[in-house]
Structure 1
Amino acid sequence: MPLQFKTKVFSHKSPKHLDRQLKGAMGDVTALDSGDPVTIAVIGCGQRGQAYAEYAFSNPSKCKVVAMAEPRPNTCAIFAQKYSIDGTLVFHDWEGLHAASAETLKTVGHRLADAVVVAVQDSMHAAVVEAFAGQGYHILCEKPMATSLDDIFKMEAAVKKAGIIFGMGHVLRYSPYSKAITELVRSGTLGELINAVHVEPIGYYHFAHSYVRGNWAQEKECSFSLMTKSCHDIDILCNWFAPATPVRISSFGSLKHFRKGAKPSAADEAQRCLECHYERSCPYSAKKIYLDPVARGNKGWPASTIVDGIPDIENISEVLKNGPYGQCVYESTNDVCDNQVVNIEFSDGSTASFTMVAFTSLICERQTRLHFTHGEVIGDMSTFTVTDFRTRKSTLHTPPLEGGGHGGGDLGLIRTFVEAVKAGKQDMVGTSIDEVVNSHLTVFAAESSRKEGRVVDCVEYEKTVREQIGRATEDEN
């Protein structure tokens, strides 16, 4: 039986979970009753929304998905059925969920849930976060925080005004691997951290999927690739060097390969992979990336992200014939960098370099070297080796694997956020809205350096952009 979608919650009778009395005035951060699971509404039920919701599915005593918003009908129906969501709390868009929440607050005096997970497209983050912060929901927002400085400052103001718990999708901080390295850095065991060399190997077909054919291919539609792909890499570097802060930054990068000038001559004038004679020899063949895996029974990423519902031969073939995921990567409308380097100087004189590159066999398995006064750490997101210069001994560390994406970072983040909401303590998240904003400002500063061809003073950069946006806001008012 198909789900019946509503655009409001009727006040004659609320679902059972609404009978729980939330403590305090709207926006107060107050501990919840210890025996109840934290309830969440998932806004955007694609790959990222599903990744965070999985914690509720596996841990129903700790977290429960009670409401959702998702425009794709098949994806919406599958998600609603999996989490047994009441039909009156299933919405096609976030505005419908927000309106229903306003109605419930007015008539019943309760929110629909304790928190919302914001996993919509990046350019929508600001509007959704502002709206639900205004209703007092705790918020976990997928990265990046926003795609413009104006939106970031609006979100910052909304979160601070509401006094809510705010989590950011900087999942790299929350994997067992990263937490173990962070603990080592903080301990001072190897002395002072002097330098970091960090590489994100995006993966050749992952980049083609997401940043050439996909949702993050054009800066005007979303943002630049350093922001959409690697803001959590810059964030974890800033975290490791804290309390030192970035003071100077430089960056270089370009769209080097995925452009018409690099198209192999054997591909001739073909616009789509399914009609190209060169397809069998092309590493970026859409047939190889999507259709062949589905034919072998693999219905997961990336094929699962390009159709509404479960991928099969028919719907994948249709997408490749008519949609952007079947286009030749050299004929696509992408314009974001496929390689970029960033250099950072911190306030204590320490330094870091970061490389983001598309052309790798590894898929997002970061390579990291941390250099201390008395030793070094070399890691690959699964294991890391600690060498102590004083003893001249090296020790291999293999943190436990918890499953899920980003080496367990997805699970670690949602679990940490739920625990923080339960206890009513922002510090349990391990970051603050100020820290989130600062790391994003560092990414924007890096992109300014790349585009303008200069070393950027980070302190002056923040001062300038805040003043400019402040004046623009005053002029609008």
Structure 2
Amino acid sequence: MLQAALLGAGRRGMFAYASYALKRPDEIQFVAVAEPDEERRQMFARQHGIPPERQFASWEELLAEPRLCEALLICTQDRMHFEPTMKALEMGYHILLEKPMSHDPLESILLAEEAERRQRILTICHVSRYDTYYSEVKALLDTGVIGRIMSIQWTENVGFWHHSHSFVRGNWRNSDETSAMILQKSCHDMDLLQWFVGEECTSVSSYGSLSYFRPENAPKGSTERCTSGCEVEHECSFSAIKHYYNEDDTGFPMAVCLTPTLEARLKAITEGPYGRCVFRCDNNVVDHQVVNLVFDNEATVSFTMSAFTTENTRTFKIMGTSGEIRGHHQNNEIEIRHFSGKTELIRPKRFEGGHGGADFLIMREFVRQVRRGDLNGKTPAAVSARSHIMAFAAEHSRLTGQTVNLNHYMAELKEGSSARG
């Protein structure tokens, strides 16, 4: 049985990944946890039977101990990935690291290089690769069912409610504290697009901005908080009362308050960050962005990320020399339209767990990967770093208005790596 420890018992770490051990206790056991929030730390310890001496208030405390187990799940906040991962690799841990690898492009490269140098597993949580839906799309493309890929139109429909929760009120609202939207939310998309095309991206351009969730767009009669007598709360689509004042013990209400009672939830939105008016937060990440990508096989990609959607899903059209594939992830539909006139509709098998079963499947594969001693797996750190660089280049283009040559950009980063020593 694989023994592991969790760094960061937040929503992803505790519920998406580590819960696998509760369903498959014969495969993996968590023997330690590091989490600054006492309520979350104790909840995780109770779930997994972790004794007090293996409960730590910080990752620094846990990694100050001699190596406790074989593997670590590092699910800390974005800007708390690099240091614990580098330290853990040095200590000989195999690691499953939540995305993004780092908020800094150079650090992302250094992590991949360090894992290779130490001959340790560093698997990045690009969970979409493990989703049976996208695995089916990849398998179809590899058979050449639509010929050579020429163009892709790809849309990440963030969903107005998801965006307001995570990227206006929530943990990833401010890139100065976490990372840019294109990296935090859309690194999955950059990874999938790179995987589907099967070649390296050579050029990136991007445009986007924070246009709506700003103080000047606050409606007349609104207040600092939804619970402060806001005159338009009943009509507001972003009302915290509508979204969080309920006893739902799953989804986003659990991020607001672990205790699923109305009293606890009301206190949370009255006093905490999730009760703020969406037009009066300290958010600075974009609410819409487009990215154009060119690959070295001449395939082109147009990617759109938007907060202003009713659905929270990805939709796409992949155009090849003999047909096209259209997809709607939420509907679990893959439609193949051949130029001959033949049409096929595929609905891939689903698995238990979040993200179309991908959260479950990445944990299953990580456990098997450690058992095999497979240093690469399905999402090797070097490949993940390359797709991260696509996101960093897109943000650089958005901010400067310049088209970024990815090879030149990578060379500059590596020069920085050499200078860093």
TM band (smaller chain): over 0.9
Residue among 255, 261, 264 paired with 1:305:
255
Q: Is the 8 A contact 2:109 2:382 kept in 1?
A: no
Which position in structure 2 is the counterpart of 1:218?
174
Which position in structure 2 is the counterpart of 1:48?
12
Which position in structure 2 is the counterpart of 1:271?
224
In structure 2, give the amino acid aligned to 1:284: F
In structure 2, give the amino acid aligned to 1:357: S
CA distance in 2, matches of 1:117, 1:378: 35
Which position in structure 2 is the counterpart of 1:282?
236
Q: TM-score, normalised on structure 1?
A: 0.85
Which position in structure 1 is the counterpart of 2:383?
435
Deviates more, 1:256-265 or 1:78-87: 78-87
CA distance in 1, matches of 2:417, 2:372: 36
In structure 2, give the amino acid aligned to 1:236: L
SS of the equivalent of 2:335 reads strand
In structure 2, give the amino acid aligned to 1:286: A
Matches within 5 A, 1:281-430: 281-291=235-245, 294=246, 297-307=247-257, 309-363=258-312, 365-381=313-329, 382-390=332-340, 392-427=341-376, 429-430=377-378
User: Following TM superposition, by how much is the alpha carbon of 1:151 offset from its aligned partner in structure 2, in angstroms?
Assistant: 2.2
Fraction of identical pairs, as percent: 34
CA distance in 2, matches of 1:114, 1:394: 49
User: Following TM superposition, by how much is the alpha carbon of 1:469 offset from its aligned partner in structure 2, in angstroms?
Assistant: 4.6
SS of the equivalent of 2:171 reads coil
User: Following TM superposition, by how much is the alpha carbon of 1:66 offset from its aligned partner in structure 2, in angstroms?
Assistant: 1.8
CA distance in 1, matches of 2:416, 2:119: 26
Residue among 113, 121, 134 paired with 2:69:
113
Residue 40 of structure 2 corresponds to residue 85 of structure 1: no
Q: Is the 8 A contact 2:292 2:302 kept in 1?
A: yes
In structure 1, give the amino acid aligned to 2:242: K
In structure 2, give the amino acid aligned to 1:450: R
Which position in structure 2 is the counterpart of 1:75?
40
The C-alpha deviation readout for 1:18-59, integer Å capped at 9, x for no partner, is xxxxxxxxxxxxxxxxxxx22211111111112111211111
CA distance in 2, matches of 1:398, 1:426: 32
Which position in structure 2 is the counterpart of 1:457?
405
In structure 2, give the amino acid aligned to 1:78: M
SS of the equivalent of 1:226 reads helix
User: Following TM superposition, by how much is the alpha carbon of 1:86 offset from its aligned partner in structure 2, in angstroms?
Assistant: 3.1
Q: Is the 8 A contact 2:316 2:328 kept in 1?
A: yes
Q: TM-score, normalised on structure 2?
A: 0.96
In structure 1, give the amino acid aligned to 2:238: Y
CA distance in 1, matches of 2:19, 2:391: 30
In structure 2, give the amino acid aligned to 1:59: R
Which position in structure 2 is the counterpart of 1:182?
138
In structure 2, give the amino acid aligned to 1:328: C
User: Following TM superposition, by how much is the alpha carbon of 1:299 offset from its aligned partner in structure 2, in angstroms?
Assistant: 2.2
The C-alpha deviation readout for 1:283-310, integer Å capped at 9, x for no partner, is 111111111xx2xx31222111123x32
Aligned residues: 417
In structure 2, give the amino acid aligned to 1:302: F
In structure 2, give the amino acid aligned to 1:179: S
CA distance in 1, matches of 2:314, 2:276: 29
CA distance in 2, matches of 1:266, 1:118: 43
CA distance in 2, matches of 1:332, 1:318: 19
In structure 2, give the amino acid aligned to 1:386: I
Matches within 5 A, 1:138-287: 138-242=94-198, 244-267=199-222, 270-275=223-228, 276-287=230-241
The C-alpha deviation readout for 1:221-261, integer Å capped at 9, x for no partner, is 0111111111011111001111x211111111000100011
User: Following TM superposition, by how much is the alpha carbon of 1:190 offset from its aligned partner in structure 2, in angstroms?
Assistant: 2.4
Deviates more, 1:160-169 or 1:135-144: 160-169
Which position in structure 2 is the counterpart of 1:65?
30
Which position in structure 2 is the counterpart of 1:26?
none
